[in-house]
């Protein structure tokens, strides 16, 4: 980018490596991809939260990435938005169970955004930034959402997939992989009970399946095989052993067309993603045959898919799923960031771009 190269201060609460098992952090699937992409683009990235890879997981990445617990000079502030979680990051610093992500984020906002007017990008990955937040009114702040149809005034910045990973994916080889598990779900319970009731549990009652993740309130689903959290390194192998998954989403994701990292984690392992029809823009991402409307529909679709496993039809379906990931390509997200970081507004009309 030549004279547009920037020193970017990046704030996130999570890991770049595999991290630890007992923690939620979907960003592990794409965060490093994005940071490496920014570096290749010519930017200098400094990480402004605690180095949890080293402190918690014992993984030393300091030769590849720079962390700074102070307030270094930067050209732009990039926040993966953090929000209050009672009993965790709202408690007193140093108290038992406290995490300082929220306090640190406020320190960064106070210093860079409010005091120095530094260009600030807020990536509201969990759609937790209040609609009436005063940050939205600041001219040097841009809010991004990981959705096909983000809120008015925000930009669409999807979870990125490495271009090489998409280009190297081999549908025939993925179809030929042994898949003893017809149906799987990998992910945590958070705000997914309604979708789970409607789409997953009725099919799970009739099919061999597995649910991996943190599900703490499960008494209402006695027929479901909950197996608890798994290490991040076991996610891809479990998808690779499974015929299909269901893209369960909270309603706030569904109405904006927000697809989590689960879609490319599963597709790149050859696990076919069944997508509820309530996900806005779903047919732009997955083949029509994989769009489902109910639990019985999931059951019928998975049953049909198990019959074609390993066939050319199976490989063709996987290929079409890979094609659907094109909009998540890293290069596309980097072009969005080039525009956002430079303060250039989008030129796309509402019906084609990022407005609802």
DSSP 174-214: HHHS---EEEEEES--TT-HHHIIIIIHHHHTTS-EEEES-
What is the per-residue pLDDT for 285? Answer: 96
* Confidence bin at 348 (pLDDT 50/70/90): very low
* Secondary-structure breakdown of the chain: helix, strand, coil percentages, each rounded to the nearest 5: 35, 15, 45
Please compute the mean of the pLDDT values over residues 337-352 and round it to a whole number: 66
For the chain, what is the mean pLDDT?
93
Task: Calculate what percentage of the chain has a pLDDT beyond 90.
Answer: 86
Domain 2-160+329-342 matches domain 163-327 at the CATH topology level: yes
Give the least confident one: 76-90, 110-124, 170-184, 311-325: 76-90
Q: Enter the pTM of the model.
A: 0.91
Q: pLDDT tier at 22 (50, 70, 90 boundaries)?
A: low
pLDDT in tens, 129-143: 999 999 999 999 999
Average pLDDT of span 10-20: 93
pLDDT number for residue 26 = 82
Instruction: Give domain 163-327's CATH architecture.
Output: 3-Layer(aba) Sandwich (3.40)
What is the CATH architecture of 2-160+329-342?
Answer: 3-Layer(aba) Sandwich (3.40)
Confidence of residue 4 (pLDDT cuts 50, 70, 90): low
- pLDDT for residue 347 is more than 80: no
Judged against a pLDDT cut of 60, whether residue 1 lies above it is answered with no
Q: Is the pLDDT of residue 356 over 60?
A: no
Task: Map out the domains of the chain as residue ranges.
Answer: 2-160+329-342, 163-327
Q: How are strands ordered across the β-sheet holding 7-11?
A: 66-67, 44-47, 7-11, 76-80, 119-123, 141-145, 155-156
pLDDT tens per residue across span 203-212? 999 999 999 9
Looking at residue 346, its pLDDT comes to: 52
Mean per-residue pLDDT, 11-18: 94
Answer yes or no: is pLDDT of 90 > 50.
Answer: yes
């Amino acid at each position: 980018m030549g004279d547009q190269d920037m020193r970017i201060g990046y704030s996130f609460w999570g890991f770049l490596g595999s991290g630890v098992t007992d923690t939620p952090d979907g960003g592990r699937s794409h965060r490093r991809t994005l940071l490496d992409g920014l570096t290749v683009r010519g930017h200098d990235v400094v990480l402004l939260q605690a180095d949890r890879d080293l402190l918690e997981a014992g993984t030393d990445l300091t030769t590849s990435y720079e962390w700074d617990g102070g307030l270094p000079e930067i050209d732009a502030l990039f926040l993966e938005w953090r929000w209050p979680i009672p009993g965790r990051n709202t408690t007193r610093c140093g108290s038992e169970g406290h995490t300082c992500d929220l306090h640190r984020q406020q320190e960064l906002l106070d210093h860079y955004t409010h005091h120095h007017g530094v260009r600030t990008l807020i990536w509201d990955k969990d759609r937790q930034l209040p609609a009436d937040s005063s940050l939205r009114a600041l001219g040097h702040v841009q809010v991004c959402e990981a959705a096909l149809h983000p809120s008015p005034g925000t930009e669409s910045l999807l979870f990125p997939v490495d271009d090489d990973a998409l280009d190297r994916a081999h549908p025939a080889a993925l179809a030929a992989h042994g898949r003893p598990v017809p149906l799987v779900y990998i992910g945590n319970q958070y705000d997914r009970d309604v979708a789970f009731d409607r789409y997953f549990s009725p099919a799970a009652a009739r099919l061999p399946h597995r649910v991996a993740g943190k599900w703490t309130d499960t008494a209402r689903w006695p027929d479901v095989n909950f197996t608890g959290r798994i290490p991040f390194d076991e996610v891809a192998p479990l998808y690779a052993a499974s015929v299909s998954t269901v893209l369960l989403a909270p309603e706030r994701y569904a109405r904006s067309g927000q697809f989590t990292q689960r879609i490319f984690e599963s597709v790149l392992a050859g696990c076919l993603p069944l997508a509820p029809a309530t996900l806005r823009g779903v047919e732009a991402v997955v083949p029509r045959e994989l769009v489902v409307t109910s639990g019985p529909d999931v059951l019928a679709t998975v049953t049909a898919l198990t019959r074609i496993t390993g066939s050319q039809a199976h490989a063709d379906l996987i290929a079409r799923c890979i094609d659907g990931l094109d909009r998540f390509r890293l290069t596309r997200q980097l072009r969005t960031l080039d525009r956002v970081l430079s303060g250039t507004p989008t030129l796309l009309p509402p019906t084609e771009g990022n407005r609802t």
